[in-house]
Structure 1
Amino acid sequence: MFDHTTRRSLVLGAAAAGASLALPASALAQAKTPLVGPLAPNPAEFKKTMEQFSGGKPAQADGLLLDVPVLADNPSAVPVKVKVTLPISEQDWCEEIIVLAELNPSPLTCRLQFTAAAGTAEAAVRIRLSQSQNVHALARMKSGRVLQTKQAVTVAASGCGM
């Protein structure tokens, strides 16, 4: 386990390397409101987030790796690794990666931003899944290309208060 000093060092180290991690506004809003009853999937929000991120451009299937366990024992903390495998240069680098849970009430689980100084575009996070579903990762390159991949995950129990 990490103590507070170690976590602070990791966050500061990531910021110094040209990467940042931010919680989506919808997640911050949900944290302030108590949950009342089960929350249903939000396919409209999922579709809207996908379209906004890609800007309506078709996404290419190669160049992005997503590593998620096929069976998630703890749906409250599912490990996710995302990595852009395309060459990173000063002319073209990954600006942003998002991770979406297709059937979560709030589909945007993670947003990662990078600069050319990062030298790579990869991250490992833990996300919460409400049920068995597809997890999607999208990456936007400086050149405007959008990369996309997805993987199915089966959860052992509900992780979003359902």
Structure 2
Amino acid sequence: MTPAYTPTLTRRHMVAGAAAAGAVLALPSSAMAQAKTPIVGPLAPNPAEFKKTMERFIGSATPLTEGLHLDLPVLADNPSAVPVKVKVTLPITEQEWCEEIIVLADLNPSPLACRVLLTVDTGAAEAAVRVRLTQSQTIHALARMKSGKVLVAKQAVTVAASGCGM
């Protein structure tokens, strides 16, 4: 007797499902490429991509260290699913709201771990995700407000073992 076919949920299916539900889920193009091709070679950090992503998000704005709260464990016992919470603590009004939040893992091969797009109708600017980490590193959260302000927060996290490539 042959085993029954069980479909595998891929990143492409997750994006399609999110779009059908009316949500906006954005994955980096490198993540979509990983869904198509197997990973070959070591999973080395990509500091150039990290720097480029930071510069592109910040643009000409002066980053502010107040107004963004980043919550994650100092010691992650499961590096495959490290809980990360980001919350804008500034008042959200119809004139000033958070348009976008990103989470970056500076020593991951693909530093962009999460991107959330928000509207004024959202009411609150917060996100909770689980991030896979390759090693102990610093997690960066950035938020762009409607006025052009960019809020930043960062925190170091120590992982117990490697989460990528397992």
TM range (shorter): 0.7 to 0.9
Aligned residue-pair number: 151
Secondary structure of the equivalent of 2:44? coil
Mapping for residues 9-158 of structure 1, pairs under 5 Å: 15=22, 20-158=24-162
Q: What is the SS of the residue equivalent to 1:83?
A: strand
Deviation of residue 76 (structure 1)? 0.8
Q: State percent identity of aligned pairs.
A: 75
SS of 1:137's partner is: strand
Q: Report the RMSD for the aligned CA atoms in angstroms.
A: 2.1
SS at match of 2:69: strand
TM-score of the pair, normalised by structure 1: 0.87
User: Displacement, 1:56?
Assistant: 3.0
Structure with greater contact order relative to length (CA < 8 Å, sep ≥ 6) = 1
Residue 119 of structure 1 deviates from its aligned partner by 0.5
Q: Which runs of 5+ in 1 are unaligned?
A: 1-6
- Cα distance in 2 for partners of 1:101, 1:161 equals 16
Q: Deviations 1:104-139 (Å, cap 9, x if unpaired)?
A: 000000000100000000011101101000000000
Once structures 1 and 2 are overlaid, which stretch shifts more, 53-62 or 77-86?
53-62
TM-score (norm 2): 0.85
Deviations 1:57-116 (A, max 9, x none): 220000000001111111111100000000001111000000000000000000001000
Q: Give the SS at the match of 1:22.
A: coil
SS of alignment partner, residue 24 of structure 2:
strand
Structure 2 stretches lacking a partner, 5+ long:
1-13
Distance of 1:145 and 1:111 partners within structure 2: 17
The structural deviation recorded for 1:27 is 1.1
AA aligned opposite 1:143: S
- Higher mean displacement: 58-67 or 31-40: 31-40
- Once the 2 structures are TM-superposed, how far is the Cα of residue 37 of structure 1 from its aligned partner? 2.6
